[in-house]
Amino acid sequence: MEKAGISLSVDAVVFGYQPEQGLSILLIRRKYEPFKGGWALPGGFVLEGESLEEAVSRELKEETGVQLNYLEQLYTFGDPKRDPRRHIVSVAYFGLVRPDHFEIKADTDAEDSQWFQLDELPKLAFDHLKILEYARERLRAKISYEPIGFELLEPKFLFGDLENLYMSILGRSIDRRNFRKKMLAFGILDELDQKVKNGPGRPASLFQFNQEKYFQHQRDGFHFEI
């Protein structure tokens, strides 16, 4: 959509999480100039009569094959020089998913799409590294007021899997004893009678999320210092 020489676009920051690899990011290789052949976030221009949410969902599906029910609006990036073509304002969105739940496939103006580990990123086009860093900070802040993990961990998991998820998002170690005490106090985890062998030592208990309490805390929010 163009008005007074300004165009409107959307970008999607899709974080992936797998217990073995940690956090990754979904990128596309651009088919056309500018930055032809370079890596970038999925995204594109908002069409006439299209909402921002419709636009980001469409672009994500067209360029990667990934279709998400919900992406959270992140921030608006409007530096007049952020795109060499003209003044293009981008509204960025972000989400967190399991990569193995999707089969990615590039299409339209994307030559390729691929998951990258955050510590092995290629050079990104436009101001997309800035957008990515902004999204990562938002994600780190998000886990202090909203539980995360329901769609990222297996239905039954070790408590250590939940710890590793939070450490991957934070990018640092945590006080495991304090984390366990606080997380159990929220009542969003049910400890099961099932135990599994996890390395040397005694078998460890499996946990599952208490769906009712989990989604209640998601709606109402909670204060969680890690």
Q: What is the 3-state secondary structure (H, E, C) of the chain?
A: CEECCEEEEEEEEEEEEECCCEEEEEEEEECCCCCCCCEECCEEECCCCCCHHHHHHHHHHHHHCCCCCCCEEEEEECCCCCCCCCCEEEEEEEEEECHHHCCCCCCCCEEEEEEEEHHHCCCECCCHHHHHHHHHHHHHHHCCCCCCCCCCCCCCEEHHHHHHHHHHHHCCCCCHHHHHHHHHHCCCEEEEEEEECCCCCCCEEEEEECHHHHHHHHHHCCCCCC
Q: What is the domain partition of the chain in residue ranges?
A: 2-142, 157-220
Report the predicted TM-score, pTM, of the whole model to 2 decimal places.
0.92
For 42-97, what is each residue's pLDDT tens digit? 999 999 999 999 999 999 999 999 999 889 999 999 999 999 999 999 999 999 99
Q: Do domains 2-142 and 157-220 have the same CATH topology?
A: no
The residue ranges of the chain whose pLDDT is under 70 are: 1-4
pLDDT at site 202: 84
For the segment(s) 2-142, the CATH number from 3.40.50.1220, 3.20.20.140, 3.40.50.1980, 3.90.79.10 is 3.90.79.10
Q: Is the domain 157-220 a CATH 1.10.1530.10 member?
A: no
Average pLDDT along the chain: 94
